[in-house]
Structure formats: C-alpha cells, structure tokens
Structure 1
Amino acid sequence: MRTVMTIPKNLADGDDLIVISKKRYEQLQKHLREVSDALGKISRGEKELREGKTRITTKSLKELYR
C-alpha cells in the first residue's frame, strides 16, 4: 500500500520541492562543508599571494627552509 502525504502549498512556496533520503541529505551537507572549506582556503591563499605573503619556488620544502 502506498502512503499518501499532503504537502501544504506554503511549504514549497511556489518553488520545486525535492524529497531525498536522510542519508543522502547528510552526504550532501558534508560535501557542502568540504567545498566551502576548500573555497575559503583558496580565497585566503589568493589574497596572500596578491599581498606578497607567499613564496613561490621550484625547490623542495627542505631546501626552502635552510
């Protein structure tokens, strides 16, 4: 037997409504956090590069800190 659910119109607020499993939702939330973190780090790195706070080298890290 199928379960019938009534979704109030104000819940979707005229937009599309998508139903996904809780597991999939949690996976998407985790992915969003990881991507947001990576984009923040990239942004900070680009800012530091523009401000001249970074070193660019073809040497290894060991050679760089000698």
Structure 2
Amino acid sequence: MSKQASFSSTQGLLSVHVPKKLGGKKVVLVEAEEYAKMKRRLAEIEDTLEKIARGEAAYRQGRTKTVRSLSELGR
C-alpha cells in the first residue's frame, strides 16, 4: 500500500482511498496548484520571521543604529 492517498473519478464523482494510518485524523483536500502556492507562501513567511528575529536580537544587543535618512549611514 502506498503512503499517499489514491484518487479516481468518473462523471464528476471523486473517490478517495485514505491509508489506514490517516484514519480518524482530520484532513483537508486542496488542489495541487493551491498547495504549491501555500507552500511557497509559507517559505516566504518563515524567511521573513527569521529575519525579524535576527533584527530583534541585534536590537537587544545594541547592534542597531537609528538614522533619519540613508545618507547618514555613510554609504
């Protein structure tokens, strides 16, 4: 038996076979395209949260600088 659910459809009906180990658990069925979008969005959110955490840590350690304009950075 495969680890993934198998699907078959005829005339607008959809039959889903769920492995026993998923029995009793709540599952959500989404289209593959929507799942891919959600997965990409999750990666973006995780990246953003990681950057925020690094910035907050730098702020707590006093490694940040307050400037009024980018010209004050000395670039």
- TM-score band, normalised by shorter chain: 0.7 to 0.9
Cα distance 1:53–1:13, how it changes in 2: closer, same or farther (>3 A)?
farther
Matched with 1:7 is: 18
Whichever structure has more strand as a proportion of its residues is: 2
2:39 to 3, 9, 29: 29
Shift of 1:62: 0.9
Whichever structure has more helix as a proportion of its residues is: 1
Q: Give the share of equivalent positions with the same residue, in percent.
A: 33
- Aligned length in residues: 64
Q: Which has the higher contact order (CA 8 A, sep 6+)?
A: 2
Cα distance 1:13–1:45, how it changes in 2: closer, same or farther (>3 A)?
farther
Q: TM-score, normalised by structure 2?
A: 0.73
- Provide the aligned C-alpha RMSD in A: 1.7
Q: TM-score, normalised by structure 1?
A: 0.82
